[in-house]
Structure 1
Amino acid sequence: MNKFLLPVLCAALMLSAAFTRLFAQSTPPVQPTQSMQEQYDKLHGNTNKKPASQPSKSKTTTKPSAVQTKPQTVQKRAPVPKATAAAEEDGLRFKIGLRGGANYSNYSVPSILSNSVPAPDPIPAYHGGLILSLGGKVFSIQPEILYSQVGSKLTTAIGQVTKSSQTTINTITVPVLLKFAFGGESFRFFVNGGGFGSYDLNVKTKDVLNGQTIKSERKFEKGDPRIEYGAVGGAGIALGLGGSGAQLLIEGRYYYGLGNDNNDLPNNNKSFVRNIQGSVGILIPLEGQ
């Protein structure tokens, strides 16, 4: 029986070895895990070796650079400063308004009569009319159409008789001014200067003699001299009225006559207006300008 078992055991061992070799060839080798690798490194002293996940970290470090370069390709326009925007909007604007106030006017004495005729006294009167303005916040041109009264008063004494004569001339006066202004939106100071022309409508006189008053009116006829021209200048302040751009104007001016259309008299026989004006007005910008 032992003789019979011995060959059987040998055959079984041979078959077991054959199956074991076949199974080893068909089964893939087992890869060490990260924990096994770390244990191996610790046992062999490889502490400086980078972990297997290090390449993935290098990938993540390259992503921010890509993200940083993306905004550089799409650049937004920087916002325009408020001061620059305001300067760009400060173009030519058309404004319209009204002004009115008081006159304190007089007439000059002809140079040929300066030694023999007393100087006339000024008289109070008034003016009012339309303002037009074209320009920016600093420089502008401002023509106006005004109804204005000018005149003078002359008092003479003959013996014990005193005579007072007051002359008032109603005119249409057109000043054309160059205006320079500076300051903020709520308060601006301005000066202006230019020329004017006036057209006489009629003349009213009032004579007082020995307590009696005599009034008269003279209308001009065709061919009568009735045009005067000269220089005008003044200064004032402009107060802003809210955010609409409207302005309240407070202004003083002086009109200095230089000539007229009376060709029958030489200049040394002519009288020219001298007028001080004080006025209040309003100036409003038109929309869409």
Structure 2
Amino acid sequence: MHNQTFLKMNKVILVLPFLILSSLFVNAQKEQNGIRASLNLSNLYVDEVDDENTKPGFAVGVYFRKGLSDQISIQPEINYSLKGSQINYDGFFSGTGKYRYNLSYVEIPVLANIHLGESLYLSAGPYVASLIAVKVKDVNGDGTVNNVEEYDRDDFNTFDYGVAAGVGFDFTGGTAGVRYNYGLVDVAPNGNGLDNGKNSVLQFFIGFEF
């Protein structure tokens, strides 16, 4: 019964952003559409985030902003986002290096923006994401890549959701800021070297209107 309820909740959370997207397109007024990119500093947390395991990545996508009033706007996005973590190792035979877990997602956040004047704004809202690939790089201490292995995505949770919040500012023709994504789903419930961690991503983003 618990699993059925959890699955129903997942379906509702997954469908909700698409319904909001549809309503925005139907009632489009004062649209601001653009492309965006971000530097991702990602990690996987259990009880707390270990900064030593932070891995750089990126995100690219499009955003759609609609003003509901002078102070509030809704901003759904569709992004490709590279998340994950890294695990350092130091062995007598293996030497020093790190395993980089690269988790590729298609991610849809739906954010509410509160505008504090002409440029500054605060953002918060949910996101849903679908895992499309998992690759692990074995990297030596000198930066040499020993091996790249692709994992079966079915061994991981292919559905993720969480919350996002941040601050940004608008400039002529675009926007920029900082955002934090906090995942609520175990990435690898069966372990796979990731200790049942959840996604944690700090983003530094910039976007340009088109």
Give the TM-score category using the shorter length.
0.7 to 0.9
Corresponding position of 1:33: none
2: CA distance, partners of 1:212 / 1:237 = 38
User: Is residue 2:55 matched to residue 1:123?
Assistant: yes
CA separation of 1:165 and 1:128: change in aligned 2, threshold 3 A: same
SS at match of 1:183: coil
Q: Deviations over 1:14-38 (max 9, x none)?
A: xxxxxxxxxxxxxxxxxxxxxxxxx
2: CA distance, partners of 1:272 / 1:95 = 32
Which of 205, 208, 211 aligns to 2:136? It is 205
Instruction: Spell out structure 1 runs of 4+ moving beyond 3 A.
Output: 158-163, 208-212, 260-265
1: CA distance, partners of 2:78 / 2:57 = 17
Give the superposition deviation at 1:92. 4.7
Question: Is contact 1:227–1:260 with CA below 8 Å preserved after alignment?
Answer: no
Corresponding position of 2:177: 251
Question: Is contact 2:72–2:114 with CA below 8 Å preserved after alignment?
Answer: yes
Structure 1 spans left out of the alignment, 5+ residues: 1-90, 242-246, 285-289
User: Is residue 2:156 matched to residue 1:230?
Assistant: no
Give the superposition deviation at 1:125. 1.1
SS at match of 1:258: strand
User: RMSD between aligned alpha carbons?
Assistant: 2.8
1: CA distance, partners of 2:156 / 2:83 = 18
Give the superposition deviation at 1:262. 6.4
TM-score of the pair, normalised by structure 2: 0.72
Corresponding position of 2:209: 283
Question: Is contact 1:226–1:260 with CA below 8 Å preserved after alignment?
Answer: no
User: Is residue 2:95 matched to residue 1:164?
Assistant: no
Supply the AA of the counterpart residue of 1:200. Answer: L
User: Is residue 2:73 matched to residue 1:140?
Assistant: yes
Which of 193, 218, 225 aligns to 2:151? It is 218
Corresponding position of 1:177: 111
2: CA distance, partners of 1:98 / 1:119 = 30
Query: How many residues in Structure 1 have an aligned counterpart in Structure 2?
Result: 175
In terms of Rg, which structure is larger? 1
SS at match of 2:116: strand
Question: Is contact 1:201–1:219 with CA below 8 Å preserved after alignment?
Answer: no
Which structure shows the higher strand fraction?
2
Question: Is contact 2:111–2:123 with CA below 8 Å preserved after alignment?
Answer: yes
TM-score of the pair, normalised by structure 1: 0.54
2: CA distance, partners of 1:283 / 1:219 = 37
The residue correspondences of 1:32-111 to structure 2 (distance < 5 A) are 92-108=29-45, 110-111=46-47
Question: Is contact 2:190–2:196 with CA below 8 Å preserved after alignment?
Answer: no
2: CA distance, partners of 1:209 / 1:158 = 12
Q: Which has the higher contact order (CA 8 A, sep 6+)?
A: 2
2: CA distance, partners of 1:264 / 1:104 = 24
2: CA distance, partners of 1:172 / 1:149 = 9
User: Is residue 2:123 matched to residue 1:192?
Assistant: yes
Supply the AA of the counterpart residue of 2:75. Answer: Q
Which structure shows the higher helix fraction?
1
Q: Deviations over 1:86-143 (max 9, x none)?
A: xxxxx953321111121111111x35xx8xxx87521111111010122233201111
